[in-house]
Amino acid sequence: MAVTAISDIINPQVLADQVSAKYPDQLVLGNTSLVEVNGEFPLGAPGTTFTMPGWKRIPAFSSLSEGTAMGTGKIGTISEQATVQRGGGAYEVYDTASLVSMADPVAEVSTQIGRRSAEYIDAALVVETNKTPNTYDGSASTFDQNTLVKALVATLGDNFMQMINGGGRVIMHSKVYGDLLQVGAIQNQYQSGMDAMKTAMIPTLSGLPIQLSDLVTTSTVSGTTYYQTYVVGPGALALIYQREVMIEFDRDVLLRADIVAASVDFAVHLYGWDDVSAAMVAEQAKSIKAVSIKTK
C-alpha cells in the first residue's frame, strides 16, 4: 500500500524560499536599524572568520600660524574579526503523522523553521551586544528612567546624546518592562500618541523606543534574578551571512520517516570589538554604540 510522505508534498526548494522570506521578519534585533545586514561579505580566514577593516580616528585640529605650514598626520586603519557561527536543527516527520494531511504543510513548516532560525540569530546578537565594554551596575534596585540616564552618562559621556538623537533603542526583558509600567515611568505616553495602556504600542523612555526581548542575558545569585538591559545605537551591530537558511531533505526508510534539516551560517559583530582576540579595538570605549545595564 502506498503511503503519502511529506517529501511527496513539500518541495525542498519551495520550502527554502518560504523560510528565507519569513525568518527575517521574525527577527527581533536583526530586523532593526541597530543591525547592518550583509549577505555578500568576503571571508577572511576561509570558513571561520569575517575580517572587517575600519578607520582610526584622525588627529584633532590645532591652531595655525600665518606663514607656518601645517603638519601632516596619518589616517590609520584597524581591522576587526567576527567569528562564523553555524546553527541548525533536524526534524523527523513520520509517514503516519497528521502533518501530511494539513491543508498547507509548507506554510506551517516554513513558519516554524523561520521562527526557530530567527530566535537563534537574535540570541547570538544579544550575546554579542553583551560584550560591550560600556557597562553599568545598577543591581541594587530595579530599572527606572533614572537608571537609564545615569548609565548613559557614566558610560558614553557626551556621546549619549548621539544615541538618543540618532535612533537608538532600549532592549529589555518583559519583566523589566513590567516594572516600568507599574511605577508609571512609561505609562502616560498619550502626548506622543504612544499610550501603551490604550494602544498596546511600545512607548519610549527618555526619547528611546523600547523593544522587548526575553533573550537578554539574565543571571541568578542567591535567589535574586538580575537582568541586562541594553541601549544600542543604529549600526552598532552587524549580521553577516556566509549562507542563509538552507533546507535539505533525507529519508529514513527504517523509521518510515522524512527528515527535514535546516541550517544557517552567519556571524554577528559588535563594531569596535574583535571576537578572535576578545578585546576592544575601538580607540575609545564610548565610541562603541552599546551599553549594558544590570538591574534586578
pLDDT band at 48 (very low <50, low <70, confident <90, very high): confident
pLDDT at 78: 84
Q: Phi first, then psi: what are they for 220, rounded to 5°?
A: -125, 125
Alpha carbon distances (Å) from 11 to 14, 61, 96: 5, 62, 19
pTM, two decimal places? 0.84
| pLDDT of residue 145 exceeding 70 | yes
Least confident of 40-49, 56-65, 204-213: 40-49
Residue 19: which H helix or E strand, with range?
A: helix 12-26
**pLDDT for position 104:** 64
H helices within 50-204, ranges in order?
105-129, 145-156, 160-165, 174-182, 196-199
Task: Give pLDDT, residue 45.
Answer: 58
In sequence order, what are the beta bridge partners of 77? Answer: 55
Mean pLDDT, residues 106-113: 80
pLDDT: which is higher, 197 or 159: 159
Please name each of the domains of the chain with its CATH number. Answer: 6-53+78-129+237-287 (3.30.2400), 138-234 (no CATH)
Average pLDDT, the chain: 84
Angle made by CA atoms 37, 42, 44, in degrees to the nearest 5 = 115
Which residue type does 215 have? L
Q: Return the DSSP state at 113.
A: H
β-pair type (218-221, 169-172): unpaired
Measure CA of the first residue to CA of the last residue in the chain; give whole Å. 61
- The rounded Cα 180 to chain-centroid distance in angstroms is 23
C-alpha cell read off for 188: 502616560
Judged against a pLDDT cut of 90, whether residue 260 lies above it is answered with no
The amino acid at 265: D
Confidence category of residue 1, pLDDT binned at 50, 70, 90:
very low
* DSSP β-ladder status, 169-172 and 208-212: parallel
Burial 221-259 (b: 16+ CB within 10 A, else e): eeeeeebbbbbbbbebbbbbbbebbebeeeeeeeeebbb
Q: What is the crossing angle of helices 105-129 and 12-26, to 10°?
A: 40
Q: What is the rounded distance in angstroms from the CA atom of residue 133 to the CA atom of residue 272?
A: 10
Q: Are 238 and 39 in contact (CB under 8 A)?
A: no
